[in-house]
């Protein structure tokens, strides 16, 4: 599944010392100043009040963004990680050294165990537990308390990590990804059916070096929001550009090409979509198939003004450090992703500036600022994760089977935007179906089981004749 608990990425290796003699760039921190005069955009049913949902997320891209939820009777308050790359709603139901509290099913009079085991494995980390049903409400979400399928996490490995502030995960993808099977209705599907809210949600998050948690040391200069049931126009600038959802399991989209600066990587568009291209809020980095990643690193290396970078910086094993207060961002190119538009003969381009993919992580001895590369290679498809999403207000319009991108009001530094959107562009020179021939994992499982059954039948027949 798509979600990778991002705190592990902070445990990076040795710091790469990079010459900074003539490459001195003062760090400018965005100091805010937005006037959040929010429009009251509510659903006529009264179940949705977007004003109540603004600033309902806490956390940061390094440890994940979470929302407060109340589970059981009486309600037990839990912080739940938001993840669009999985479909189970799961919460710790046993003690763990890295979490402060857990959901005690014995104290909830409304909890009912389904008696079914469940296990989920993510890109990093996994957990096991049992399925149940209980009442759930969201203090900063749609009005109402509804029965929801819950996976009670009883054991885990690499899932809960040090310094996190959440105790569970809210999978917002489609039923096809639910475990142990698609009969387990995901949280948002239940919310739409039982409360009658529109089948749309949207997310606004911050750049890696910002935070939406007042308890953390980093300055909180903007709001982080998950709007359930629609979109809030004050959280974005300009229009929303939409791309079709190719398959309803992950939020799979169709990537047509990538550019480094003005340089097209010039790969077959099917390379970008092997074995899928998805938008996943639970993945920290922009993840690219190996051939695409290698081509992108080569292009950045050629266009960057900084020479002799260690390979360890590109593969994530090392950090690059400059004297405190200096930044390397002006010496790196923009990165652009072209997505198929809803008018399939056209595309649009989402662009992130280096501040989003050359990410400031920590300081060293109070004298150096250290940065990581916010892009990694992937063996299971292209993932548009937090590195890109933090530049945009992202709309998951499930009702019309499309994903939207608009410029986030928070994607700025020193008053300058960190992201761009442009289009439409003609897609006449691109294949009509760049994601064609890609099989979803469940389909592969079915084919595998069918082949096993055929082999078993052949063995039975052979044994019969041998006997």
Q: Which CATH class is domain 51-197?
A: mainly beta
pLDDT tens-digit series, residues 230-262: 888 888 899 999 999 999 999 999 999 999 999
Residue 73 is predicted with a pLDDT of 97
> Hey, CA dihedral for 289, 292, 298, 299, is it positive or negative?
negative
Residue 124, pLDDT above cutoff 50: yes
Annotated catalytic residue 280: yes
- Could you tell me the pLDDT band of residue 210, with boundaries at 50, 70 and 90? low
pLDDT tens-digit series, residues 335-365: 999 999 999 999 999 999 999 999 988 777 7
The answer to whether the CB of 148 falls within 8 A of the CB of 172 is: no
Residue 191, pLDDT above cutoff 80: yes
Average pLDDT of every residue of the chain: 83
Residues paired with 324 in a beta bridge: none
Q: How many residues does the chain have?
A: 467
pLDDT tens-digit series, residues 392-436: 999 999 999 999 999 998 877 777 889 999 999 999 888 888 986
- Could you tell me the pLDDT band of residue 38, with boundaries at 50, 70 and 90? very low
Q: Where are the beta strands (DSSP E) in 245-289?
A: 255-260, 263-264, 277-279, 286-289
**Domain map of the chain by residue range?**
51-197, 203-208+222-426
- Identify the residue whose tokens are 């629609």: 230
Mean pLDDT computed over 306-326: 85
- Number of Cβ within 10 Å of residue 154's Cβ equals 15
- Could you tell me the pLDDT band of residue 388, with boundaries at 50, 70 and 90? very high
Q: Determine whether domain 203-208+222-426 maps to CATH 3.30.428.10.
A: no
The answer to whether the CB of 407 falls within 8 A of the CB of 419 is: yes
Given 60, 134, 280, 369, which residue is catalytic? 280
**What phi, psi does 373 have (nearest 5°)?**
-85, 120
The answer to whether the CB of 348 falls within 8 A of the CB of 425 is: yes
Instruction: Tell me how far apart the alpha carbons of residues 61 and 286 are, in angstroms, rounded to a whole number.
Output: 12
Given 83, 134, 189, 369, which residue is catalytic? 83
The answer to whether the CB of 396 falls within 8 A of the CB of 403 is: yes
Residue 431 is predicted with a pLDDT of 83
pTM for the model stands at 0.81
The answer to whether the CB of 215 falls within 8 A of the CB of 223 is: no
Longest dimension (CA), the chain: 84
Residue 156 is predicted with a pLDDT of 97
Residue 234 is predicted with a pLDDT of 86
> Of the candidates 169, 221, 153, which has an alpha carbon nearest to the alpha carbon of residue 65?
169
How far is residue 51 from each of residues 41, 88, 405, 411, measured CA to CA in Å? 7, 27, 21, 20
Phi-psi region of 377 (alpha: psi -120 to 50; beta: other; left: phi over 0): beta
Annotated catalytic residue 397: no
Instruction: Tell me how far apart the alpha carbons of residues 91 and 170 are, in angstroms, rounded to a whole number.
Output: 9
CA 149 to chain CA centroid, Å, is 22
Q: Which of 42-46, 64-68, 89-93, 228-232 has the highest mean pLDDT?
A: 89-93
Same fold, 51-197 and 203-208+222-426: yes
Residue 20 is predicted with a pLDDT of 33
Residue 225 is predicted with a pLDDT of 77
Residue 200, pLDDT above cutoff 60: yes
What is the Cα Rg of the chain in Å?
23
């Amino acid at each position: 599944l798509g979600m990778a608990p991002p705190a592990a990425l902070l445990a990076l290796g040795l710091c790469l010392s990079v010459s900074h003699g003539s490459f001195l760039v003062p760090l400018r921190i965005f100091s805010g100043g937005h006037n959040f005069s929010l429009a009251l955009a509510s659903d006529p049913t009264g179940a949705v009040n977007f004003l109540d949902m603004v600033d309902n997320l806490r956390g940061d891209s390094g440890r994940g963004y979470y929302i407060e939820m109340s589970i059981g009777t009486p309600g037990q308050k839990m912080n739940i990680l938001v993840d669009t790359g999985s479909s189970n709603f799961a919460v710790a139901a046993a003690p763990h050294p890295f979490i402060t509290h857990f959901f005690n099913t014995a104290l909830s009079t409304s909890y009912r165990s389904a008696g079914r085991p469940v296990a989920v494995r993510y890109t990093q980390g996994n957990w096991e537990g049992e399925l149940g049903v209980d009442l759930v409400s969201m203090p900063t979400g749609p009005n109402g308390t509804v029965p929801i399928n819950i996976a009670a996490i009883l054991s885990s490995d690499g899932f809960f990590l040090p310094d996190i502030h959440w105790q569970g995960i809210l999978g917002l993808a489609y039923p096809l990804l639910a475990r142990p099977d698609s009969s387990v209705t995901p949280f948002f599907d239940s919310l739409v059916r039982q409360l009658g809210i529109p089948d749309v949600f949207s997310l606004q998050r911050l750049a890696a070096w910002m935070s939406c948690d007042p308890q953390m040391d980093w300055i909180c200069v903007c709001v982080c929001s998950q709007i359930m049931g629609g979109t809030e126009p004050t959280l974005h600038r300009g229009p929303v550009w939409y791309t079709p959802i190719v398959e309803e399991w992950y939020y799979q989209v169709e990537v047509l090409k990538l550019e480094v600066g003005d340089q097209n990587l010039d790969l077959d568009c099917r390379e970008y979509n092997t074995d899928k291209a998805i938008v996943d809020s639970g993945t920290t980095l922009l993840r690219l198939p190996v051939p695409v990643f290698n081509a992108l690193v080569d292009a950045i290396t050629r266009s960057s003004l900084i020479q002799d970078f260690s390979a360890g910086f590109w593969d994530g094993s090392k950090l690059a450090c400059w004297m405190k207060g200096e930044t390397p961002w002006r010496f790196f190119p923009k990165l652009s992703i072209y997505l198929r538009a809803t008018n399939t003969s056209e595309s649009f381009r989402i662009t992130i500036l280096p501040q989003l993919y050359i990410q400031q992580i920590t300081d060293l001895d109070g004298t150096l600022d250290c940065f990581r590369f916010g892009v990694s290679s992937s063996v299971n498809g292209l993932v548009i994760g937090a590195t890109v999403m933090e530049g945009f207000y992202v709309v998951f319009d499930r009702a019309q089977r499309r994903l939207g991108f608009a410029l986030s009001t928070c994607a700025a530094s020193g008053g300058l935007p960190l992201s761009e959107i442009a289009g439409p562009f003609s897609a006449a020179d691109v294949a009509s179906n760049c994601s064609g021939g890609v099989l979803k994992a469940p389909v592969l499982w079915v084919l595998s089981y069918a082949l096993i059954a055929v082999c078993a039948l052949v063995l039975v027949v052979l044994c019969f004749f041998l006997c």
